[in-house]
């Protein structure tokens, strides 16, 4: 981003939202840019272990899940009894996709079924490289809350596992990434039914601007994590996998080094250190998944979805 563009953005924010928002965004951009330059210069952004360098049959990816957060809620979920920390290859989803799914791992990818709710797959992945790529976000996005809820991903994953019996499967849930379905009031103070007609800042941008206490956003984040783990448990009870792993593409900063959310190219531990929890999965047949549509025309593009998730304004 050029200096001229920074000034243009600042002027636009000041006009639309007031001087306070412009000040906070400018301050945050300067801090992130400084960290990004430092981490690139020191090679910190090049660290991390690709997912195919570790052993797993089923990889459950929780978007923006911090290592300490999963550890904090582990006592309520018996399948989370062996949580390690690993370093992710990226600090946001697109970088994670681009660094993990490369030509080096073409053979492994060809044996992998990918079930994803993350819209960055349109940019970062090619369907031809996988045994199966189900971009569930394309047809079951919840317009009211501005994200995809966990259940359509669980339904698709259980169906694919039973019908295809893939060698490897990845299920990429969007939670605990905001917007928080458990706390819709935090997104911009309007009811969920109004979200589809409004574009607003992410929860973490509002925290950074002083509009929401960080403690309130953190509590909501934990509630969102607990919610998605209910679906993870349902998944683990209805697919077979000798080695099932719960991990994250990246973490979420909550004031560490003055950062909120997940900034590209910033390699602080809050963003790059993620959980790696090994367990097993056994299909008990206890759940019959709902049918999910495929190749359905919907309103909204990748840009719309990324805006809902707070990546674009």
* Overall average pLDDT of the 186-207 stretch: 61
pLDDT interval class at 125 (50, 70, 90)? very high
- The answer, yes or no, to whether residue 265 has pLDDT greater than 90, is no
Q: Which pLDDT score, from 0 to 100, does residue 42 have?
A: 54
Asked if 172 and 59 touch (Cβ cutoff 8 Å), the reply is no
Q: Any idea what DSSP says for residue 147? A: B
pLDDT tens digits for 46-92?
578 999 999 999 999 999 999 999 999 999 999 999 999 999 999 88
Q: Which pLDDT score, from 0 to 100, does residue 196 have?
A: 42
- The answer, yes or no, to whether residue 217 has pLDDT greater than 90, is yes
- The answer, yes or no, to whether residue 181 has pLDDT greater than 70, is yes
- The answer, yes or no, to whether residue 305 has pLDDT greater than 70, is no
Structure tokens at 105: 């791992």
Structure tokens at 287: 């759940």
Alpha carbons 221 and 219: distance in angstroms, whole number: 5
- 3-state SS track over 253-296: EECHHHCEECCCCCCCHHHHEEEEEEEEECCCCCCCCCCCCCCC
Measured CA to CA in angstroms, residue 52 lies from 48, 58, 74, 233 at distances of 12, 12, 25, 23
pLDDT interval class at 5 (50, 70, 90)? very low
Q: Which pLDDT score, from 0 to 100, does residue 268 have?
A: 85
CA 299 to chain centre: 22
- The answer, yes or no, to whether residue 307 has pLDDT greater than 70, is no
Q: Which pLDDT score, from 0 to 100, does residue 190 have?
A: 41
Q: Which pLDDT score, from 0 to 100, does residue 168 have?
A: 98
- Mean confidence (pLDDT) of the chain: 83
* Overall average pLDDT of the 276-286 stretch: 98
Q: Which pLDDT score, from 0 to 100, does residue 45 have?
A: 55
The stretches of 142-288 forming alpha helices (DSSP H) are: 150-164, 185-188, 203-208, 214-236, 269-272
Report pTM. Answer: 0.82
- The answer, yes or no, to whether residue 246 has pLDDT greater than 60, is yes
Sheet with 241-248: list strands edge to edge: 83-87, 273-281, 241-248, 58-63, 168-176, 112-116, 132-135
pLDDT tens digits for 132-172?
999 999 999 988 888 999 999 999 999 999 999 999 999 99
Q: Which pLDDT score, from 0 to 100, does residue 30 have?
A: 58
Q: Which pLDDT score, from 0 to 100, does residue 241 have?
A: 98
Q: Which pLDDT score, from 0 to 100, does residue 122 have?
A: 92
Q: Which pLDDT score, from 0 to 100, does residue 34 have?
A: 56
Q: Which pLDDT score, from 0 to 100, does residue 311 have?
A: 55
Q: Which pLDDT score, from 0 to 100, does residue 9 have?
A: 45
Alpha carbons 197 and 307: distance in angstroms, whole number: 12
> Rounded to the nearest 10 degrees, what angle do helices 19-42 and 3-17 cross at?
150
């Amino acid at each position: 981003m050029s200096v001229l563009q920074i000034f243009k953005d600042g002027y636009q924010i000041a006009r639309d939202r007031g001087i306070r928002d412009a000040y906070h965004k400018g301050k945050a951009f300067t801090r992130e840019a400084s960290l990004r330059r430092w981490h690139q210069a020191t090679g910190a952004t090049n660290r991390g272990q690709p997912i195919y360098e570790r052993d797993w049959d089923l990889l459950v990816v929780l978007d923006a899940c911090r290592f300490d957060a999963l550890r904090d809620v582990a006592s309520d979920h018996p399948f989370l009894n062996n949580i390690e920390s690993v370093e992710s290859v990226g600090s946001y989803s697109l970088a994670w996709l681009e660094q993990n799914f490369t030509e080096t791992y073409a053979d492994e990818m060809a044996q992998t079924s990918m079930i994803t709710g993350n819209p960055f797959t349109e940019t970062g992945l090619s369907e031809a490289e996988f045994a199966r790529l189900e971009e569930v976000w394309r047809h079951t996005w919840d317009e009211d809350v501005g994200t995809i809820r966990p259940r359509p991903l669980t339904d698709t994953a259980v169906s694919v596992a039973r019908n295809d019996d893939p060698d490897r499967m990845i299920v990429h849930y969007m939670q605990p990434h905001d917007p928080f379905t458990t706390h819709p009031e935090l997104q911009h103070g309007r009811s969920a039914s109004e979200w589809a007609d409004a574009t607003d800042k992410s929860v973490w941008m509002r925290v950074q601007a002083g509009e929401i206490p960080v403690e309130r956003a953190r509590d909501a984040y934990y509630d969102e994590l607990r919610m998605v783990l209910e679906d993870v448990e349902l998944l683990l009870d209805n697919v077979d996998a000798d080695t099932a792993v719960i991990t994250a593409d990246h973490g979420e900063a909550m004031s560490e080094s003055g950062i909120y959310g997940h900034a590209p190219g910033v390699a602080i531990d809050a963003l790059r250190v993620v959980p790696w929890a090994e367990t097993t999965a056994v299909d008990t047949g206890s759940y019959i998944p709902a049918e999910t549509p495929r190749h359905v025309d919907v309103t909204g593009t990748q840009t719309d979805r990324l805006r809902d998730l707070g990546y674009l304004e």
